[in-house]
Amino acid sequence: MIILATLFSFQDIFCQNEQHNRESYLRAEAHSFMKRHKIPGLALILFIDGESYLLQFGYADKKQKKFVTQETLFELGSVSKIFTCILLCNEIIQQNMALHDSINLHIPELQACRRLKQITFAKLCTHTSSLPFNAPDQVRSDRDLIRYIASWRPPRKGFTWQYSNHGIELIRIALEEKTKNNYNELLINTILSPLHMAPIGVMVPENLTGLYATCYDKLGEETCHWDHPFLIGSAALKASSTDMLNFLKAMVGVTDMPDSLRQAIKMTQLPYVSLDSFRHGLGWQISMLGTGDLSEKPFEIIQAQEIAQNDLSQDARILFEKTGTTHGFHAYIGVMPGKKSGIVVLFNRRLHNGWSVSKRFGRKLLKQAMQIPAVLYSPLKLDSSNQVSLTFDF
């Protein structure tokens, strides 16, 4: 019995060493990444093998020497699009909307625009609507955007992929029209509160502004927080490391939540479109870890093909991911539900091609962290006094 108890105590040591080894690797990589890109502050959030890792580095504010903490608020940029697609799917699960509804059915000002019949929620979520990346500069409000879309003409024929911010924004406007709630209320009630995330969403309350990280541009100079007048559902969310850990766990399916929300998340992770190097879910890009990188042509027009919605979430090779960029922040989320693992990377400086840099960094950390062995040790041996002895080979 004494020997058995000793074995259990060593099992605890093994678990602690597993976390220590991963943390050592993650910390070394984070310091190297920050030094190479002159990043003031960074947060890493991982969930691997049932273990959570919340690691913070550097400054939330360089001038005030304020360190990044678990509660520091970062901007998520286009990771916001995942939240918007989940909100849409939640309405679809509850049979209030349908994925192949045309956008003009749900925005009254567009109902007379018969040519928009081809623009469905499915196409908006998968960036296959043929809408351009952004609307013209003179479009500065929801009403401006609706007027622009009402006069817009599809520029080409065929089924193609082109990343579009205001395509997702049309979903946000439709959701507000349908539910009669503003976007932040929908976020809080449908996603944030059920997942025990802070009720912040796109609006930082005055009493929490001290937690909002200062952000820096490509030159390393302090810049403004996200202030776009209508790109809200596509880029405006803010969250802390603690919040994103809860979101990460939900995305890999290891947390309790309302059944409709669970189904909505599952729906976003189905593939709907196939391109040369990846598949596209509702908001998510889908590939195998280490492949499917669009680093050279993120906003070009690419030929696409509609595909059957096969459930890939339990395939241990499959990665669902999204990047985000604002004036002075980058974000990356990568989740592998089949391995119950995922990562979020947040930092407060904008980089040249930063969305690609953050994606490569996040993928590298996730892949390597999952491969680090628990403990390198030789087999257990009993000495002459019946005591357990171990030899660690680090």
Question: Which tens digits make up the pLDDT trace of 252-299?
Answer: 999 999 999 999 999 999 999 999 888 999 999 999 987 655 445 667
Residue 203 lies in a domain: yes
Outline where the chain has alpha helix (H).
2-37, 80-93, 121-125, 142-151, 165-179, 183-187, 241-251, 259-268, 354-371
Q: How far is CA 250 from the centre of its chain?
A: 12
Residue 392 lies in a domain: no
**Cβ atoms 304, 128 nearer than 8 A:** yes
Phi-psi region of 346 (alpha: psi -120 to 50; beta: other; left: phi over 0): beta
Residue 64 lies in a domain: yes
Spatial distance between the Cα atoms of 168 and 379, rounded to a whole number of angstroms: 55
Residue 394 lies in a domain: no
- What Rg, from alpha-carbon coordinates, does the chain have? 23
**Cβ atoms 128, 299 nearer than 8 A:** no
By DSSP bridging, strand 330-336 and strand 341-347 are antiparallel
pLDDT digits (tens, 9 = 90+) for 303-346: 899 999 999 988 999 999 999 999 999 999 999 999 999 999 99
Helix (H, G, I), strand (E, B) or coil at 60: strand
pLDDT digits (tens, 9 = 90+) for 14-36: 444 555 688 999 999 999 999 99
Tokens standing for residue 286: 């889908």
Residue 41 lies in a domain: yes
Spatial distance between the Cα atoms of 201 and 246, rounded to a whole number of angstroms: 14
Tokens standing for residue 282: 């509702």
Tokens standing for residue 391: 């030899």
Q: For residue 176, give the amino acid letter.
A: E
**Cβ atoms 99, 122 nearer than 8 A:** yes
Residue 66 lies in a domain: yes
Residue 273 lies in a domain: yes
Output the pLDDT for position 393.
Answer: 29
Q: Which residues pair with 290 in a beta bridge?
A: none
Tell me which DSSP letter residue 327 carries. Answer: S
**Cβ atoms 319, 335 nearer than 8 A:** yes
Residue 391 lies in a domain: no
Helix (H, G, I), strand (E, B) or coil at 143: helix
**Is 384 exposed, middle or buried, given 0-12, 13-18 or 19+ CB atoms closer than 10 A?**
exposed
Per-residue pLDDT of the chain (394 residues; tens, 9 = 90+): 433 433 334 344 444 455 568 899 999 999 999 999 999 999 999 999 899 999 999 999 999 999 999 999 999 999 999 999 999 999 999 999 999 999 999 999 999 888 899 999 999 999 999 999 998 889 999 999 999 999 998 876 789 999 999 999 999 999 999 999 999 999 999 999 999 999 999 999 999 999 999 999 999 999 999 999 999 999 999 999 999 999 999 999 999 999 999 999 999 999 999 998 889 999 999 999 876 554 456 678 888 999 999 999 889 999 999 999 999 999 999 999 999 999 999 999 999 999 999 999 999 999 999 998 534 333 333 333 333 322 222 2
Which range of residues forms the domain containing residue 159? 2-385
Output phi, psi for 166, to 5 deg.
Answer: -75, -10
Tell me which DSSP letter residue 138 carries. Answer: T
Output phi, psi for 174, to 5 deg.
Answer: -65, -40
Q: Structurally, how many domains does the chain consist of?
A: 1
What CATH number is given to the structural domain containing 333?
3.40.710.10
